[in-house]
Every structure is written in structure tokens, then in C-alpha cells.
């Protein structure tokens, strides 16, 4: 195998070669830099009044200016530059930008150009072999941008380092490293950086990294909060980390197993195109005893993954956070490692005076004092190989509230522990533990696997023995937070998600050390064999859930049958609603908590509906390579789609009287119930009649000889369900009138889009013809039956619909 080098890697080899410091700096250059007599001049420049810190780059503070002493042997070396916000004003970024948020990650090279040092941003995406004719073209088309340039101020007496001033890099606005995005600049109407209030706070150097903190102050007309005096001030942390010379052996990605990845292009491929491939993002784990590892023994890694807890983490939650981190050791044991991941309390200043959560030497679970309800698991990588260098898990304090509410809503009917705003510590602690485990999974390289939940039979989630052994889904990387399928009387069932068999399988696939493999290609046969061993077993399938096409890969859904699961979920919600006033009441408090929980319950009802809607026009995806039998895409069977429409007509489009609880509504709002239901039903209808969904159904009708659920049948079933009062000569309530108007308006909108500029795509499909035909059918039925309903408002309503249809079909009339 010919070794492939990235373009920038080749540039380093060509640019620096094997030159010594004396060869790099000649006498004239030293004189231009002001070094008249070597050591004397340097000591004049860097003297006893200078505050210096030795490390990767020795840093010097002299006369309130920051200087870097850059060693010659680090020129042209790969240095990872990570920019983070260390401190942030209240409300910044809508609460989703916090202390610890990463704003950029790039690899730079410090390069000498005459009497200047340039900081170049380098890319590793495009590859070429050095002796290939195309090499020069790849170089020419991947020219490195210069982030910063500084004149050489001095040389060390032995010529092993250059001294440059870098104050302007951190005190001026450099887009590549600042914390103010263009969208936030526009949002807050930022006018300019105020240099008088922007300064370098500290610079610390360590053997393999340099950490600079600097304050940036902006004048803003509309800062995040009014009390911020027209100012946005943030503390930035810049980490510069020397990437390892001994690179980790990469592992080729395979989309049948879910991994975050790094994209690459090889221009020396034998294919008649550039060879596009991906490397998985993973930590470097190498067994201490390779021979014992080969024999199947569990072996500790040379360098385990270590996570520290943020010093701000409340003491009572620390055990759950640590458990969530170390839960992954079960998966790493599947890959042959023991004690591969370790959770530690934050070190005291006496134990480690240099500890800082912003320092990329430390991976930290950050605890953020914010009203934001979320948690995330980002990581920092070496883009050359996909090696994860560091990661910070971020837990926002108010995420506790999310799980408290969800537990009450989805488990309150079945579990007495959920019937309170003060969720017992055992339950909320277990939820926190599993959230941290989920986010650590991301930081280990695993993306969401929304398809996992569809592997388990829906009714199995009502079984205590099944759920206690297998959890709610085969993967903790699915969104399956609370067991809403379980019913009252299903004693002993597990309510909170947990790690599952897919997680063990994925970690083994990505992390098992293969000592005989000399390169990524050598690993492929073994990795493929592991996939084929599990092929056809839904427990080990992967689907990210993007596109909302595959009903088996959806956020928050549980079980293989989405219709049945949503029926169970709705049955529980109907039992919860009458109890919400009692469960959310606190002596001396108002009804804000009731309003919040009730609103979230409505959103969960909408989620259950959407899980079912996705079956209509849905397509199952089973990821395969060309050497596997069977197809990748298959339309959802007709009966499943028809069952979904029956559910929607019954549970979404019938007025949800159970939800319109007067005991709740009379406590939280003077009005608005009609609008709430109208919005929910209209959204469900619009989602169902989505253009992409209808076009998939049209295409499926043409591509298969099987009995399919057609668009004509869909519209007919909807018409019979939505307008059942018309066909049964019944009175129409206000909620149903709103829904029926929404139906007519949706159909008319498609017809009217035919005339709109830029809507040629819709006009070229059968959707307009379908909607015209449906409106004509409905108009005929309305004319024949409009006077059969006894109440006046219903008759007026039918007449109004006829007028709307006529206006839509004949806009010029």
C-alpha cells in the first residue's frame, strides 16, 4: 500500500525538510529583527520585569503586551486551535450559548515567511500522493488562508525560537476565533468592538498546549438583556494543542453502523472520480498488554478516557453523573477493555492548581447555571485521523425540569412516583444518569440511532422481565426517555431508558483493537464480517431519523408498531389530565406549573400523532451494501398506512374532549382552548398533506405492482373522517368546523400555488390535479347534503365551505 498524505502534510515535509535552526535563520534576518548582539539584545527584551511561562510556546507579558516565543522545531507542525467562550453574559444566544461553548475548531501551522511568522489554517480533507502528477493540482487548489501574521521581534540567543507579538491577535476582532457569530451580531445590533474594554486576561503555557484568556467587549444596541448597558462582554479561551506526531490509525466508517465521521477525498483513486470516504471519530485506545488482549483477556488501555466533573456540579447529583459516565465500561468490555472510561470528581486547587474546564487537556462534564433545558455532548478531534482529543459534556441545570415534567406526563398514570413536582431522587437521579450516558455516547463518537426503538415488539414494553433486562430500546442513543407504552397494572416495568445491545455492538465495532492490521484497509474484512453476523436482526440496525421518511426511525417513538404505541400513550394521557391540578399544586403558589405541564402534555399528544402520520407515504430504510441481498427502501404496507389514517381520524381529528378539561383551562387562561386545538389539528393535517409525502405516494403507485395505499384513497378516507358530520347529518362543533376549514384551505392552497411565481415544481406534479378533484367531490357532497343538518351554524358553515371551494377553483370569477 502506498502511504497517502494530506496536502498540508506534504507541504510541511517540503517546506521544512531536515533543516537545523541555523539553516532556517540567516544573519541578515536576525539583524532585521533587531538582534545586534545575540544574548544581550534578548535579555534586554525579555528581562526580570517580564512575566513568562514556559511550555509549548513560552509566553511573555512585557509592558502589557503578550509575546509568544515559538520554537523553530514547532514551525510547520500541526496545532489544533480550539476557541471557547469561558464566561458569557446572561441570555446570550437565547440560552443555548454558555460558559464552555465551543465556537470554532481548526488546525493551524506557524510558518516563517522572511521576517514574519504567518499562522495558516490548514485542511486535511483532500489527499494526494506526493509522487502523483495530480499532486501539484491538489496543492494549488487547497491554498491555506492566513489567519494572522506578525513580524519577528527577536530570536533566542541559541536561535532555537523566534519571538513575536500576539496582542493584536487577541485584542482585535478576528472572526476565526471570536465568540460573536454573524447571526448574533445582527440579532443584537452590534456596532463595534470596544478596544478600551477588551484585553488579555492571562496566558498559560504547558508542555503540549497554550491557553489564552481574553476579554472581548462589544457595543450593542440590543444586547441579550436590557440591563446590560448596551454592552456584550465575554471571556474567550483559546487553546492551542500540539497534535501527536504519532498519529492514531484511522478506522473507515460504514453507514450500517452509526458513527460521527470525518470526510475525506483521495485524488489518486483508481476509480474514475475522486474517492470519497469517511473516518470514524473515536478516542485512541490501545491495550497495555497486547498479547493478553489477543488471548481474549480484558486489558486496561494505555491511556483511559477520563472525565472530570465540573466544580459547579451539586454534590447530590455527582454520583449519578459518575455512574452515567462509567456505564460505558460495559460496552468497552465488549471491545476487550476494562476501566476504559473513568469519572473523577473535580480536583482541588491543592491537587491540581492548573485545572480549568476550558483547558483541552481535561474532558469535563460542565454544569451550566441556565434556564435552558438541554444537554449536549460535543468533542474535539484531530481531523487528520478522526482521533477524539477532548470533549466537554454540557448539562444545563433546568434540564431537570424537562425530565420531571416528562416523567409526570408519560408515567403518571402508571407510576405513583411520577405524580409530584418533587420527583423522588432515585427516579430523577436515574434519569440524569441516563442523560449523561447518552451525551457521553455522543462524545465517544456515536450519533443518534432513532431506528433502535423499532426493534422491540410494542407489547414487550409492558413486560417487567423484558424491560428490566433489555430496556426500552436496544440503544441509549435513541430518543426514548420514558416508557409511555406501559399501562396501569403493568407492575415492575422499567420506565427509564438504559444502555442496550446495540451500544455494546457499536462500541466493539469502533473500538476493538486489531493488532494485526497495518492500515485501515486491513481492518475492513473483519469489520464487515461483524456487520454481516448481525445483518437482518433489527436490534443491530442503524437509522439516524433524518428526513422523517422512515416511521421506524423517529424521535421519541417506542416499539415496532407506532399506531399501537400511540394508542397506549394516549390512553395514559387521558388518565393523567384529570389529575394535573392536584399533582402540580403547591400551597401559596399560582398555576404556572400547571400551565407548563399541561402545555407540554399537549405537545406530547402531537408527537404521538406525528409518529403515526409518518407511516402514511412512509418508506422503511434498511442500510445495506451491494453485496447484501434485498433492497434498501421499501414502502410501508397498504394496511399499515390505512390503519394510521383510521387512528388519525379517530384520535387527531375528532374533538379531544378529554384534553379540554375545564378544571385546568379555568385556572390557566381566560380563553384560547379553541385555538390550541385548532393549531394542533391544522398542524397534523398539514403534516399529513405535505408535498413530499404525497409525491412519494404518487411515485410508489407507479413503481410497484403491489396493492398500494393511493393518494386518491387517502383523500377519500380523510374526507369521510373529517366531514363525517356532513355524511351523518350531524351538528358540527367549533373544533370540527375549524378543522374542516383547514382541510379546504390546504387543498385550495395547492391549487393557488399553481399561479404563484416559482412554484413550477408543484405545478408539474399530480398534486394540483388531486386537490382539484377532491375539492370538486367535496363541493358536490356539500351541495347535496348542506341542508340536512338541523342547526343553523352548521348550515352556514357548509355554505361557507362551498364559497371557499368555488373561490379557490375559480379565482378570476
Q: What is the pLDDT of residues 42-98, one digit of tens each?
A: 777 777 788 999 999 999 998 889 999 999 999 999 999 999 999 988 888 887 788
Least Cα distance to 129 among 10, 278, 265, 224 occurs for 10
In sequence order, which ranges of 614-733 are alpha helices (DSSP H)?
A: 638-647, 662-668, 673-688, 691-703, 711-722, 724-728
Output b/e per residue, 19-54; b: 16+ Cβ within 10 A. Answer: eebeebbeeebbeebbbeeeeebbeebbeeeeeebe
Q: Which of 512, 540, 560 is the last residue of a domain?
A: 560
User: Does 126 map to a domain?
Assistant: yes
Domain with 401 in it: 290-560
Q: How far apart are CA 690 and CA 688, in angstroms?
A: 6
| C-alpha 747, offset from chain centre | 35
DSSP 246-279: SPPPP-B--TTS---EEEEEETT-SSSS-EEEEE
The pLDDT, as a whole number, for residue 576 is 98
Nearest 5°: phi and psi at 45?
A: -80, -45
Q: What is the pLDDT of residues 198-252, one digit of tens each?
A: 999 999 999 999 999 999 999 999 998 877 789 999 999 999 999 999 999 999 9
The pLDDT, as a whole number, for residue 93 is 86
pTM over 0.95, yes/no:
no
Q: Which residues contact 810 (CB under 8 A, 6 or more apart)?
A: none
Least Cα distance to 395 among 416, 378, 408, 412 occurs for 378
Q: Does 352 lie in the same domain as 213?
A: no
Q: Does 133 lie in the same domain as 209?
A: yes
Q: Does 194 lie in the same domain as 318?
A: no
DSSP 498-559: ---HHHHHHHHHHH---TT-SSHHHHHHHHHHHHHHHTT-GGG-----TTS--TTS-TT--S
- When pLDDT is averaged across residues 686-714 and rounded to a whole number, the result is 90
Q: Which of 524, 542, 560 is the last residue of a domain?
A: 560
Q: Does 440 lie in the same domain as 367?
A: yes
Count of alpha carbons within 13 Å of 179, Cβ hemisphere only?
30
- When pLDDT is averaged across residues 289-308 and rounded to a whole number, the result is 97
Q: Does 478 lie in the same domain as 351?
A: yes
- For residue 772, pLDDT over 90 is answered with yes
The pLDDT, as a whole number, for residue 761 is 55
The pLDDT, as a whole number, for residue 158 is 87
Confidence class of residue 781 from pLDDT cuts 50, 70 and 90?
Answer: very high
Q: What is the pLDDT of residues 583-613, one digit of tens each?
A: 999 999 999 999 999 999 999 999 999 999 9
**Vertex 607: Cα angle to 606 and 608 (nearest 5):** 90
Q: Which of 242, 268, 302 is the last residue of a domain?
A: 242
Q: How far apart are CA 440 and CA 537, in angstroms?
A: 26
CA distances from 552 to 58, 449, 493, 544 (A): 55, 11, 23, 10
The pLDDT, as a whole number, for residue 4 is 42
Q: Does 352 lie in the same domain as 206?
A: no
Q: Does 335 lie in the same domain as 227?
A: no
User: Does 84 map to a domain?
Assistant: yes
- For residue 16, pLDDT over 70 is answered with no
User: Does 592 map to a domain?
Assistant: no
- For residue 197, pLDDT over 50 is answered with yes
User: Does 667 map to a domain?
Assistant: no
The pLDDT, as a whole number, for residue 377 is 84
- When pLDDT is averaged across residues 22-31 and rounded to a whole number, the result is 52
Q: Does 195 lie in the same domain as 108?
A: yes
Q: Does 329 lie in the same domain as 201?
A: no
CB contact at 8 A, 190 and 232 = yes
Among residues of the chain, what percentage have pLDDT more than 90? 73
The pLDDT, as a whole number, for residue 14 is 36
102: β partners: 84
User: Does 87 map to a domain?
Assistant: yes
- For residue 25, pLDDT over 80 is answered with no
Q: Does 29 lie in the same domain as 166?
A: yes
User: Does 333 map to a domain?
Assistant: yes
DSSP helix/strand/coil, 366: strand
Q: What is the pLDDT of residues 407-464, one digit of tens each?
A: 999 999 999 999 999 999 999 999 999 999 999 999 999 999 999 999 999 999 999 9
Mean pLDDT of the chain: 89
Q: Does 478 lie in the same domain as 374?
A: yes
- For residue 39, pLDDT over 50 is answered with no
Q: Does 196 lie in the same domain as 336?
A: no
Confidence class of residue 804 from pLDDT cuts 50, 70 and 90?
Answer: very high
- For residue 382, pLDDT over 70 is answered with yes
Q: Which residues contact 219 (CB under 8 A, 6 or more apart)?
A: 190, 191, 192, 194, 230, 231
Confidence class of residue 579 from pLDDT cuts 50, 70 and 90?
Answer: very high
Confidence class of residue 128 from pLDDT cuts 50, 70 and 90?
Answer: low
User: Does 408 map to a domain?
Assistant: yes
User: Does 618 map to a domain?
Assistant: no
- The domain total for the chain is 2
Confidence class of residue 651 from pLDDT cuts 50, 70 and 90?
Answer: very high
Amino acid at each position: 500500500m502506498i502511504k497517502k498524505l494530506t496536502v498540508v502534510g506534504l507541504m510541511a515535509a517540503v517546506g521544512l525538510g531536515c533543516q537545523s535552526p541555523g539553516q532556517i535563520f540567516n544573519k541578515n534576518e536576525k539583524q532585521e529583527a533587531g538582534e545586534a548582539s545575540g544574548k544581550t539584545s534578548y535579555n534586554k527584551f525579555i528581562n526580570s520585569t517580564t512575566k513568562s511561562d514556559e511550555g509549548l510556546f513560552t509566553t511573555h507579558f512585557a509592558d502589557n503586551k503578550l509575546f509568544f516565543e515559538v520554537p523553530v522545531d514547532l514551525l510547520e507542525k500541526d496545532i489544533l486551535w480550539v476557541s471557547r467562550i469561558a464566561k458569557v453574559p446572561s441570555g446570550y444566544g437565547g440560552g443555548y450559548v454558555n460558559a464552555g461553548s465551543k465556537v470554532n475548531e481548526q488546525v493551524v501551522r506557524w510558518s516563517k515567511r522572511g521576517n514574519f511568522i504567518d499562522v495558516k489554517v490548514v485542511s486535511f480533507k483532500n489527499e494526494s500522493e506526493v509522487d502523483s502528477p495530480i499532486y501539484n493540482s491538489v496543492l494549488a487548489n487547497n491554498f491555506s488562508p492566513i489567519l494572522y501574521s506578525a513580524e519577528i521581534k527577536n530570536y533566542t540567543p541559541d536561535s532555537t525560537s523566534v519571538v513575536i507579538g500576539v496582542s493584536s491577535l487577541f485584542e482585535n476582532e478576528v472572526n476565526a476565533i471570536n465568540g460573536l457569530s454573524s447571526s448574533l451580531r445582527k440579532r443584537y445590533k452590534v456596532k463595534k468592538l470596544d478596544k478600551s474594554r477588551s484585553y488579555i486576561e492571562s496566558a498559560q503555557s504547558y508542555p503540549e498546549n497554550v491557553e489564552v484568556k481574553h476579554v472581548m467587549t462589544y457595543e450593542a444596541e440590543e444586547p441579550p438583556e436590557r440591563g446590560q448597558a448596551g454592552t456584550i462582554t465575554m471571556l474567550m479561551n483559546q487553546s492551542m494543542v500540539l497534535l501527536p506526531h504519532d498519529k492514531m490509525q484511522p478506522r473507515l466508517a460504514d453507514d450500517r453502523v452509526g458513527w460521527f465521521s470525518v470526510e475525506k477525498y483521495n485524488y489518486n483513486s483508481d476509480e474514475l472520480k475522486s474517492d470519497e470516504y469517511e473516518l470514524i471519530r473515536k478516542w485512541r485506545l490501545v491495550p497495555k498488554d497486547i498479547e493478553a488482549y489477543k488471548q481474549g483477556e480484558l486489558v486496561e488501555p494505555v491511556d483511559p478516557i477520563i472525565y472530570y466533573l465540573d466544580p459547579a456540579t451539586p454534590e447530590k447529583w455527582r454520583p449519578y453523573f459518575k455512574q452515567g459516565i462509567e456505564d460505558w465500561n460495559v460496552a468497552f468490555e465488549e471491545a476487550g477493555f476494562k476501566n476504559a472510561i473513568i469519572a473523577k470528581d473535580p480536583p482541588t486547587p491543592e491537587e491540581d492548581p492548573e485545572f480549568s474546564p476550558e483547558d483541552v487537556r481535561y474532558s469535563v462534564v460542565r454544569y451550566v447555571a441556565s434556564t435552558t433545558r438541554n444537554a449536549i455532548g460535543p468533542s474535539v478531534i484531530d481531523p487528520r485521523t478522526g482521533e477524539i482529543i477532548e470533549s466537554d459534556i454540557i448539562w444545563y441545570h433546568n434540564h431537570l425540569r424537562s425530565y420531571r415534567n416528562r416523567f409526570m406526563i408519560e408515567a403518571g398514570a402508571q407510576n405513583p412516583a411520577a405524580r409530584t413536582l418533587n420527583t423522588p431522587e432515585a427516579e430523577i437521579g436515574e434519569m440524569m444518569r441516563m442523560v449523561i450516558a447518552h451525551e457521553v455516547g455522543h462524545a465517544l463518537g456515536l450519533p443518534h440511532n432513532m431506528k433502535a426503538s423499532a426493534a422491540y415488539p410494542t407489547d414487550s414494553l409492558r413486560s417487567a422481565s423484558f424491560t428490566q433486562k433489555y430496556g426500552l430500546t436496544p440503544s441509549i442513543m435513541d430518543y426514548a426517555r420514558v416508557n409511555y407504552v406501559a399501562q396501569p397494572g403493568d407492575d415492575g416495568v422499567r420506565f427509564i431508558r438504559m444502555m442496550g445491545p446495540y451500544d455494546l455492538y457499536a462500541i466493539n465495532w469502533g473500538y476493538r483493537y486489531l493488532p494485526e492490521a497495518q492500515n485501515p484497509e486491513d481492518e475492513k474484512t473483519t469489520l464487515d464480517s461483524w456487520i454481516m453476523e448481525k445483518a437482518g436482526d433489527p436490534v443491530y440496525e442503524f437509522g439516524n431519523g433524518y428526513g422523517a421518511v422512515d416511521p421506524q426511525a423517529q424521535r421519541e417513538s417506542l416499539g415496532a408498531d407506532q399506531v399501537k404505541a400511540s394508542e397506549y400513550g394516549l390512553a395514559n394521557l387521558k388518565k393523567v389530565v384529570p389529575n394535573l391540578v392536584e399533582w402540580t399544586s403547591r400551597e401559596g403558589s399560582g398555576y404556572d406549573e400547571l400551565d407548563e405541564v399541561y402545555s407540554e402534555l399537549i405537545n406530547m399528544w402531537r408527537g404521538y400523532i406525528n409518529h403515526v402520520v409518518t407511516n402514511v407515504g412512509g418508506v422503511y430504510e434498511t442500510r445495506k451494501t451491494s453485496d447484501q441481498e434485498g433492497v434498501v427502501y421499501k414502502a410501508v404496507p397498504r394496511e399499515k398506512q390505512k390503519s394510521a389514517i383510521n387512528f388519525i381520524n379517530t384520535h387527531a381529528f375528532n374533538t379531544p374532549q378529554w384534553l379540554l378539561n375545564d378544571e385546568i383551562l379555568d385556572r390557566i387562561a381566560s380563553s384560547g382552548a379553541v385555538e390550541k386545538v385548532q393549531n394542533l389539528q391544522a398542524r397534523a393535517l398539514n403534516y399529513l398533506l405535505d408535498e413530499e409525502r404525497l409525491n412519494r405516494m404518487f411515485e410508489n403507485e407507479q413503481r410497484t405492482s403491489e396493492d398500494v395505499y393511493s393518494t386518491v384513497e387517502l383523500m377519500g378516507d380523510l374526507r369521510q373522517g373529517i366531514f363525517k358530520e356532513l355524511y351523518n347529518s350531524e351538528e358540527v362543533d367549533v373544533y370540527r368546523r375549524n378543522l374542516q376549514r383547514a382541510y379546504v384551505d390546504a387543498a385550495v392552497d395547492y391549487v393557488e400555488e399553481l399561479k404563484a411565481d416559482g412554484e413550477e415544481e408543484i405545478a408539474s406534479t399530480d398534486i394540483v390535479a388531486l386537490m382539484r378533484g377532491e375539492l370538486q367531490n367535496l363541493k358536490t357532497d356539500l351541495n347535496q347534503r348542506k341542508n340536512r343538518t338541523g342547526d343553523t351554524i352548521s348550515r352556514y358553515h357548509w355554505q361557507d365551505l362551498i364559497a371557499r371551494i368555488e373561490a379557490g377553483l375559480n379565482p378570476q370569477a
